[in-house]
Structure 1
Amino acid sequence: MVMKQVVIAGCGDVGTALGLQLHARGWQVYGLRRDPTSLPAEITPVAADLTQPEKPPGWPTKVDYLVYCPAAGKRDAEVYQRLYVEGLEHVLGWIKDSRQRLQHLLQVSSTAVYAQSQGEWVTENSRAEADTPTAVQLLAAEDVALRSGVPASVVRLGGIYGPGRNRLIGQVREGLQVPAEPPQYTNRIHRDDAAGLLAHLLALAEQRELLAPCYLGVDDEPASLFEVTGWLAEQLGTSLQPDGARSTRSGSKRCSNELARDTGWQPRYPSYREGYAELLKG
């Protein structure tokens, strides 16, 4: 069997978890990031700045799959434009320049591209019309992927949590105040489930299964922030304070993972309860 080779461009937290899963399946994994020295030994490092057009000297000679999943670090439209839009164009250019035939591209996006805010259910077929400057750039990056001329799918992830992502736990410990009404629905996915969904879709592509152009990567249970923080407070033995810092969240939508589940994928952490329970144990 010929070893499949994948480049994970923007190999951060989710990308590293994905790379380890793919390596365990016998894939050759290349992790591309500005400073790849902290990558585990299972992932071959490639040092590159995605915002620069020059192909990195460590670019692999063969690429079967590309996962484009950088993290901007801050919500700035110009940064998003350079990293998500132009960066993806650069990587696709490197592949073309190397005369490599890409079997599938997964472009990681966000459920933030949806503007729905009244608790509506959202699917892959819902209109994605968020007009924030960063959401506009994410949609532009999706367009680059889907018009690239190679088989491509966009994976819109909900809020990622997991090891090292404990901001909400810290806010609850400090007495975060969240209004019960109107409900502020939230959508999340554990880091390992996000990586697992990407690995699952790559496995389907390897089996020559026809993938949809878009998938929502969220757990089974959208939940109001009031419910989630109340549950966390109970687990932590604390309480939400009426005079505590007030949540500034404004969006409210419920994202469905039905299409992803129809492919055979199942989240290991089907709701916030299972995922946060494990984090709290640690």
Structure 2
Amino acid sequence: MSAPSVLIAGCGDVGGRLATQLLALGWEVHGLRRDISRLPEGVIGVAGDLFNEDCPATWPIGAVDYLVYCAAATDHDEAGYRAAYVQGLQHVLGWLNDYGQVPERLLFVSSSSVYGQQQGEWVDETSPAVAAGYSGRVMLEAEQIALNSGIPASIVRLTGIYGPGREWLLTQVRRGYRVAVDPPLYANRIHADDAAGLMAFLLEAARRGVALEDVYIGVDDAPAALADVVGWLREYLGVTEWADDASVRRTGSKRCSNARAKALGWTPKYPSFREGYAAILEGRC
């Protein structure tokens, strides 16, 4: 049996981690990004721009068994999100059509920002997705394009991704970051390796013929109040100074469940922020 092929459109940090995991499983991996010199070793580069409707000259001409759309917005406004998630996806789907390629499954990487809950509610894939901001609304629009593409599709709604190079919170804690304790502001996280691992798990399941759901939430086992995360990091880092004022950069508060993914057999390598941040700070990931 020949190796399954996958095209990762938007093969950046998480996409590159996914590529590395799939290569280790024997997959043929094509990675689309502007600078293919930054792709992991072994990935077949597709030099292209998701924001440009012109098909990349190095587009794979053979079968594309699976497609992962894993873009990131470069401009964090509504136009930037629309370019990255709606128009970019439409471009890729058009290029597939131009070459007569029909993948067996599409994974579209979305965000938990599609959920507007703000009172600490538990959220799963059946919860109402009524986005509070433009980012979530654009994501919901892009999700529908994926689901209506004619390709069997699964949406992967990732929560706050952290990992090496994604260390904003660590920087803020070292500066004395202070957040309100009451009411608790719940936050959801997934280590970048686990975000990639969930997608690899879903692709492997699809390859085996497992029936997948339309939507999965990518989150660790333990959504936590931001004050608890900050408190643990302060103790771990030995930070004793506080900032003068409490500061929070966002208002959403919800607890996302990974029960659906775990019922399929997926288990995060870093089940909570404790294991994940310890691995970062100890240089183990």
Unaligned residue ranges in structure 2 (runs of 5+): none
**Paired residue for 1:78?**
79
**Paired residue for 2:191?**
190
**Paired residue for 1:141?**
142
**Paired residue for 2:201?**
200
Q: What is the DSSP-based 3-state SS (H/G/I as helix, E as strand, rest coil) of the residue aligned with 1:49?
A: coil
**Paired residue for 1:281?**
282
**Paired residue for 1:5?**
5
Q: What is the distance in 2 between the residues matched to 1:169 and 1:131?
A: 27
Q: What is the DSSP-based 3-state SS (H/G/I as helix, E as strand, rest coil) of the residue aligned with 2:108?
A: strand
Q: What is the distance in 2 between the residues matched to 1:30 and 1:242?
A: 46
**Paired residue for 2:16?**
16
**Paired residue for 1:272?**
273
Sequence identity (%): 54
State whether structure 2 residue 262 is matched by structure 1 residue 256: no
Q: What is the distance in 1 between the residues matched to 2:75 and 2:169?
A: 18
**Paired residue for 1:57?**
57
Q: How many residues align?
A: 282
Shift of 1:48: 0.7
Q: What is the distance in 2 between the residues matched to 1:157 and 1:239?
A: 33
Q: Is the 8 A contact 1:160 1:189 kept in 2?
A: yes
Q: What is the DSSP-based 3-state SS (H/G/I as helix, E as strand, rest coil) of the residue aligned with 2:14?
A: helix
Please identify, of 164-173 and 65-74, the stretch whose mean Cα deviation from structure 2 is larger.
65-74
Q: What is the distance in 1 between the residues matched to 2:85 and 2:2?
A: 31
Please identify, of 189-198 and 234-243, the stretch whose mean Cα deviation from structure 2 is larger.
234-243
State whether structure 2 residue 25 is matched by structure 1 residue 25: yes
**Paired residue for 1:47?**
47
Map 1:87-106; keep pairs closer than 5 Å.
Answer: 87-106=88-107
Q: Is the 8 A contact 1:155 1:214 kept in 2?
A: yes
Unaligned residue ranges in structure 1 (runs of 5+): none
Please identify, of 149-158 and 31-40, the stretch whose mean Cα deviation from structure 2 is larger.
31-40
Q: What is the distance in 1 between the residues matched to 2:254 and 2:73?
A: 23
Letter in 2 for 1:189: I
Q: What is the DSSP-based 3-state SS (H/G/I as helix, E as strand, rest coil) of the residue aligned with 1:66?
A: strand
Report the TM-score when normalising by structure 2.
0.97
Q: Deviations over 1:63-109 (max 9, x none)?
A: 00000011113421101111100110110111111111210000000
Give RMSD over aligned pairs.
1.1
**Paired residue for 2:131?**
130
